Structure 1
């Protein structure tokens, strides 16, 4: 339970901290001492050198995620354009073969604004909650959200520009997202209006794809420009309350990424590619509380760390079933 609460604290903005000896298991302490032996340090450095020379990470999980995002959003478009009524609405609120579905954060905003519990929203959110609890973490973000795909492309461009000195990543405090979550909720109560939905790029893009482009798309373009030139993953890391909502829901999901410290080289490649690198703090040398740990609630389940890990220290896992794919 303490590890779960710590995971929430990190997601809400607290910086990860190196565990004290009292927080580490005996097995973790023994492994740490073993890896500190001069011979083991020498071997690890040699393995890292060989890995950087010979290991070539693939793009399986990225390709799978991009296909998933495109197909889910395309389903809304095709259903509307051909009037087949499989999926109606947008990602924020929809009906799937007549059954109500509602984004958790959007539904909360509506109920706070109107100050009543709408039964259709309760039904819709219950279904969505179960689905994203099963998949775990912030998997909605990396497997369904259309802005996430644009943000990932923007991040690639940002890294290329930054390498040439044409852009710089200005990091903000991650607690900003938590503060904004409270602010948007309070605005909904006070104004009786879902203020967040007017700037929510998920809803803006989902509606634009299906019903046509509006001026609101300019706001999405501004966000992308900020991410490309000023702050890497600005919206997802520091602003968006949606991911935090799904992070809470999926914190104890049966599907998770599992870390095995025994196999880790601690070279940090996983943190370099991670969209939310604070969740991988335990991969730093001596930072693991136990030999095997689940990645925290803020994990997007994107699979990037799994892809770049040469030793299999990070793997998708289903509780009770073992390794996934």
Structure 2
């Protein structure tokens, strides 16, 4: 069994909740990135719940559209749907969506998927079950070209343009869960279960990785985002544990040993994960026993 296969086996056998803690190369235990991310997601969505039910008026609305202390925030893909369906946008929609785009330009594009999205939390649980089933050979792992997400992104925008209605929002699990948290039960939650079962039994994080147009919109921001994960070749021993846990493993293609010779020749022993699909989940850093991964704000390298 090669190192990559061993990493996958360790991932499957590890207790899910044990991954809320990690150890650095000095053996010190700390709260893992997953732990911090779950806290972020829970607190963010709890604010929606409390703002509505006890009227604290901090974060009102849902993840599609909200007000933070009275200031409008609009999901960028929702804003695009409004634009193509109504052939125009209200000033609050423009300001709210541009504010979020500017925010995620600084904090890293698809960080939304790992640190805010409530379905992402469910998807992580489904991923654990999926990997267990694959390891027992009950199901097969199915992978597709992640660029297919751009096809769905265009399809959903075309649907809004042709129908004059926000078609995607009918099946958007993020919006469905966010409305459930804020306003209560809805039969639409059945659809969320269907998507989760799709990811468990058919394709690992299939909705998030291949379909979700919300994540695809943040992918476009991620290519130019200032906050990145930085990898140090000199610390890496190529154990492939990071590739095994990465939900968007194609973004780590560049760290494979076959590129080391060219990288050394160009004196690029430290590189950022440049691909916009990186969700800054930090799982690579959690499992790296040599501390080869670190979060970095790259503005200092651009000036």
Do both proteins adopt the same fold according to a TM-score greater than 0.5, normalized to the shorter chain?
yes
Identify which of 233, 249, 274 aligns with 1:261. Answer: 233
Aligned partner of 1:75 in structure 2 is 47
2:109/2:221 contact within 8 Å kept = yes
1:105/1:241 contact within 8 Å kept = yes
- What's the C-alpha RMSD, in Å, of the aligned pairs? 2.1
Q: How does 1:138-287 map to 2 (within 5 A)?
A: 138-287=110-259
Gaps of 5+ in 1: 1-44
SS at match of 2:40: helix
Aligned partner of 1:125 in structure 2 is 97
Further displaced range: 61-70 or 244-253:
244-253
Aligned partner of 2:271 in structure 1 is 293
Aligned partner of 1:7 in structure 2 is none
**What do the CA deviations read for 1:286-318 (whole angstroms, capped 9, x no partner)?**
225432211021100000001111222211112
Aligned partner of 1:307 in structure 2 is 286
Cα deviation, residue 168, structure 1:
2.4
1:237 & 1:309 partners in 2: Cα distance? 23
Are 1:317 and 2:289 an aligned pair?
no
SS at match of 2:234: helix
Runs of 4+ in 1 over 3 A off after TM superposition: 54-59
SS at match of 1:147: helix
TM-score by length of 1: 0.79
**What do the CA deviations read for 1:241-260 (whole angstroms, capped 9, x no partner)?**
11121121132222110111
**What do the CA deviations read for 1:130-168 (whole angstroms, capped 9, x no partner)?**
111111131000000000000001101111222222232
1:59 & 1:162 partners in 2: Cα distance? 28
Are 1:86 and 2:58 an aligned pair?
yes
Aligned partner of 2:16 in structure 1 is none
Aligned partner of 2:17 in structure 1 is none
SS at match of 2:259: coil
Q: Which has the higher Rg, Structure 1 or Structure 2?
A: 1
CA gap of 1:59–1:161, structure 2 versus 1, over 3 A, is farther
1:177/1:237 contact within 8 Å kept = yes
Further displaced range: 63-72 or 155-164:
155-164
1:86 & 1:93 partners in 2: Cα distance? 14
**What do the CA deviations read for 1:98-134 (whole angstroms, capped 9, x no partner)?**
1100010111111111111211100101111111111
2:185 & 2:144 partners in 1: Cα distance? 31
2:148/2:211 contact within 8 Å kept = yes
SS at match of 1:263: coil
1:94/1:100 contact within 8 Å kept = yes
TM-score by length of 2: 0.85
2:148 & 2:123 partners in 1: Cα distance? 19
Aligned partner of 2:18 in structure 1 is none
1:128 & 1:300 partners in 2: Cα distance? 16
Aligned partner of 1:15 in structure 2 is none
1:287 & 1:281 partners in 2: Cα distance? 9
